A and B are shown apart, each in its own frame.
Chain A
Amino acid sequence: MKPQLTLQTPLELPYQEITNYLNELWMSEDKDNTGASTFTLTIWQPAWLEQCLVQKGLVNGPITGNLSPEIIEAAKKFILDAGLPITTSLNSEELLNLLEENLSNEDVDDFRGQFFESSISTLNPRRLITLAPTLNKKTDIKTFVSAYCPLTDTIVSQPICGDLVVIRGDSASINHKGLNIIDELFIDELPSWLWWNGSLDESPEIFKYFTNHGLRLIIDTALGSPKRCLKILDQLNKSNKAINDLNWVRLKNWRESLAMIFDPPSRRPILDHITDIDIDIAGDHIIQALFFISWISDKLHWSFLKVETDKESTKIEFERINGEKISTSIKPLALGNPGIHLGQVVGLRLISKISEVQKNNTCVILGCESVECMRLEAGGMANMELIEQVVPNSFSSSEYDVSKLLGSSRGNTSPLFENAIKIALQIFNGFNN
């Protein structure tokens, strides 16, 4: 989808004046048009990769906050030129550190907060607040505001106008000054969402500020160290905060495909005799795979026993109610063409044994490509009853996934996710014991 751009050039105002300006703006408008009664969305939009690439002149500006194909291509080229392994993820810290070296401090056009994918803009957000931290650590805060009334093809009887606010500056200035006005920008009667579109490792004070303010959270646990991600999930879960995780949302295809295999009642007994599950992931970020295995174990009422890790894989053992053991493993793969998100599941192999005779047993293989299926078939799997399926990884952008959440969810944590988090935490804590 093409991003949509505001028609009105945002007006730069001192940050202290933003709230008054918006209040007056809406009061002076047509009385019937008090703005869309939808939601407020605050976005933490660092776009570090894009900022670096634009500053380095490797892609043309302006900075928009959208991960375009040009940015992906330029980053991949840089990875090769810099001699980094071809398997380096676009979100890797190593890549960003290299890109940040010798950056010029030239001013580049920064349009973050003015570009939105149409999947979000068609939901007619009442207010979009973008926090746009700059690479330059000495940038004082700048705030911009713009109101808009989109033109529509159909006659609408409800107001659909909204406004957007951009708060740009270095992280410290956003923290010290920007957050002072944020509170006043939330509209009490409308739901307020926060989309933390960055690593969960960065700017903990700012993140904490939002979690303490009861916003509906959208995070991405593929961004940030697994330890920090799980710690945050634990804290949020314990304090009953609503969490939506894009890393969990992206797992939907896999959960659905695995469930689909067992829809025919004739296949259900296979579930009672699972002995092994192996999950392959791209890169070494294990959170998504942990969620996957936790979801399976929750649904099949397995108890977690122990976890071990070595260079090649993480091995987790579960126990069925009848005392039978189930061995599972998560294996990071170094892929030549890594996806955008770290640690995405690329394959699953499930073995169910009901007999000593191999051909009476079942092997279920899900792979993101047929090559992955073939890899998982190795080792005599074809001697069993083999059920294989290719599960294409989700190609939707984060903006699209966010729009789905905004459009359909009430913001509360999905019960399936909540249970998966609890088990994933048990497993993760098992590393330390």
Chain B
Amino acid sequence: MPSALSNPLRLGLRQERVISPQCLVIFGASGDLTHRKLIPALFELFLQRRIPSEFGIVGCARRPWTDSEFREKMKVKLSNQISGKEKEWQKFSNYLFYEPVDLQHSDHVVRLSKRLSEIDRNQATHGNRTFYLSVSPNFYASGCKALKAAGLLDDPKKSRLVIEKPFGKDYSSAKKLNKIVQSCAEESQIYRIDHYLGKETVQNILVLRFANTIFEPIWNRNYISNVQITSSETVGVEDRAGYYESSGALRDMLQNHMTQMLAVTAMEPPGKFEPEAIRNEKAKVLQASKLADENEPWNSCIRGQYGEGGDTSNRLKGYRQEDGVDCNSTTETYIAAKVFVDNWRWQGVPFYLRTGKRLPKRLGEIVLTFKDVPVHLFESTIINPAPNQLILRIQPNEGATFKFEVKSPGSGMKSRPVEMEFSYDESFGEPSDEGYVRLLADAMLSDPTLFTRSDEVEAAWKLYTPLIELMDNSPWKLPIYNYESMTWGPPKSDQLLSKDNIFWRRP
């Protein structure tokens, strides 16, 4: 078992980039994301000594809180994380400020601007600011306009704008939103966040592919038969029914997180490890992606909705029985799609993406299955030799597994599959940072590498437009199949693959 002790020789060795003096302004500071992800991530950065002394975090929301109320509320919400680090929190909380702001009221934004100037003077943050829109997506456009009108986005070198997902609800709304946001700020100022890209394991795909000689030559249609990308949750809709009813699995997971994983897996090597070079390649691969059957898109997708399930001692409600959910809801809680990437590298290789709630395991993984050997020289201990597989585990038990055939011990010459393992825990023994720690730091450092560019977002929406149109206009063509909670989705989803004589990996 790995020891929990940290490596003493590692302490202080990692040279992290230090964030320059600035003010981080969080709109929607009374919301969940602020106390669940953003403030914990900022506190973590503070503990890592990456926050400069000239710094300020200004929470903004409609509630009429004061600085000290905001500090107190955050302290209560973060009590578990703060435990044992009270002194550090005391210092950190000096960076926290609060200003009641309704972005729909221009006088509020003008008042905020004055408050920021005052904080600039007191905290020596030199007018350097990052604005984080953690508000309802309905307010993204008006929020940007309000900031622009108050002159808060005028200096492209000193102001950045971070926008949470979902960025639009379909291709045309994303395009329209991009147009508005880009009329308020330069593209270089805009950071569209997808927290999956902040995960160490997703970034590791780039390193695995482009820092090793052995993978890239076989990372193509000549050797790979199919790719499966899975992101599964065990939880149901919980208290997010209001949001989830209008989004569903396609908009909540497939279009953004899953498609970003597809992009990172399928992209060409960038010329340089530079933000634009990487984003160019990701955009290109997404632009080359299409549903397996665009003419009859219902053949490329299976939708599902969880029903009751679980064991007798812990019976779980079905989606339609959840609080806040329409009892006739047709929102999908599961979606599986078959996608092709129309380029030289991937022509003919199916990419199967699936995501869902109330599945048996919480996990994220990318599975590359290699083609069969041309001739089977050896008998297998099981019916057929298993194809080689490279499994990249995004979460949990982050790492990678390579499955290959070896000689089964004994006098015969039978083969059997074995696994070669790499585990972050066993190799490094230290947990990696939460995605938000990395992404918040990157945004404040003006490093857009792990953020999605306008063309990427639009290409990702465009990819699923045929499905969205079907769901909107003729939903009976894309029916919702019920599946029992804590199973791997509707049985129908197996048919998406079985036509190609492929099966979902059972992780």
Contact = CB atoms under 8 A, between A and B. Distances in A.
Interface string B1-45: 011110111111101011000000000000000000000000000
B12 A416 contact: yes
A259 B5 CA distance: 14
Contacts of B151: none
Contact of A263 (B4, B7, B11, B17): B7
Contacts of B473: none
Nearest to B156: A157
B15 A408 contact: yes
A263 B2 contact: no
Contact of B429 (A264, A408, A415): A264
B429 A263 contact: yes
Most buried by B among A255, A263, A301, A415: A263
Contacts of A255: 9, 13
A129 to B, nearest CB: 26
B428 interface: yes
A158 B9 CA distance: 41
A66 to B, nearest CB: 25
A258 interface: yes
Nearest to A158: B157
B426 interface: yes
Given A157-B157, A268-B3, A263 B427 contact: yes
Q: Does more than half of chain B's interface fall in helix, strand or loop, or is it mixed?
A: loop
Contacts of B12: 414-416
A271 B216 CA distance: 37
B9 A259 contact: yes
A265 B156 contact: no
A416 B12 CA distance: 7
A384 to B, nearest CB: 20
Q: Which of B11, B12, B426 has the most CB of A within 10 A?
A: B12
A354 to B, nearest CB: 15
A342 to B, nearest CB: 25
Contacts of A231: none
Contacts of A157: 156-157
A154 to B, nearest CB: 10
A264 B156 contact: no
B13 A256 contact: yes
B426 A265 contact: yes
Contacts of B426: 264-266
A416 B8 CA distance: 12
Given A265-B429, A410-B18, A259 B3 contact: no
Interface residues of B, number: 21
Interface in A398-428: 408, 410, 414-416
Contacts of A158: 157
Interface string A134-159: 00000000000000000000000110
Interface residues on A, range: 20 to 34
Nearest to B186: A157
A259 B428 contact: no
A256 to B, nearest CB: 7
Nearest to B49: A415
Contacts of A301: 8
A416 B13 contact: yes
Nearest to A296: B9
Interface string B426-456: 1111000000000000000000000000000
B4 A265 contact: yes
A268 B11 CA distance: 13
A390 to B, nearest CB: 18
Nearest to A295: B9
A410 B13 CA distance: 16
A408 B15 CA distance: 9
A266 B10 CA distance: 15
Contacts of B157: 157-158
Interface string A280-298: 0000000000000000100
Interface in B123-156: 156
A262 interface: yes
Nearest to A263: B428
A262 to B, nearest CB: 5
B281 to A, nearest CB: 19
Interface in B302-325: none
A410 B157 CA distance: 20
A256 B9 CA distance: 8
B420 to A, nearest CB: 16
Contacts of A264: 2, 426-429
A45 B10 CA distance: 35
Contacts of B18: 410
Given A157-B156, A265-B5, A268-B5, A259 B13 contact: yes
B251 to A, nearest CB: 36
A262 B9 CA distance: 8
A350 to B, nearest CB: 11
A271 B9 contact: yes
Contact of A269 (B3, B13, B425, B428): B3
Nearest to B428: A263
A414 B17 CA distance: 14
Contacts of A258: 9
A296 B426 CA distance: 23
Given A157-B156, A259-B7, A271-B8, A265 B13 contact: no
Given A157-B157, A410-B18, A266 B3 contact: yes
A300 interface: yes
A333 B12 CA distance: 31
Contacts of A268: 3, 5, 7, 429
A214 to B, nearest CB: 19
B7 A262 contact: yes
A264 B429 CA distance: 6
A299 interface: yes
Given A157-B156, A408-B15, A259 B2 contact: no
B9 A265 contact: no
A211 to B, nearest CB: 25
A271 B7 CA distance: 9
B313 to A, nearest CB: 36
Nearest to A259: B9
B50 to A, nearest CB: 12
Interface of A: 157-158, 255-256, 258-259, 262-266, 268-269, 271, 296, 299-301, 408, 410, 414-416
Given A256-B13, A408-B15, 5 more contacts: A262-B10, A265-B4, A265-B5, A296-B9, A410-B18
A-B interface, 9 closest residue pairs, ranked by CB to CB distance from nearest: A265-B429, A265-B2, A259-B9, A265-B3, A259-B10, A299-B8, A262-B7, A416-B12, A263-B428
8 contacts: A263-B7, A263-B10, A263-B428, A265-B426, A266-B426, A268-B3, A269-B3, A301-B8
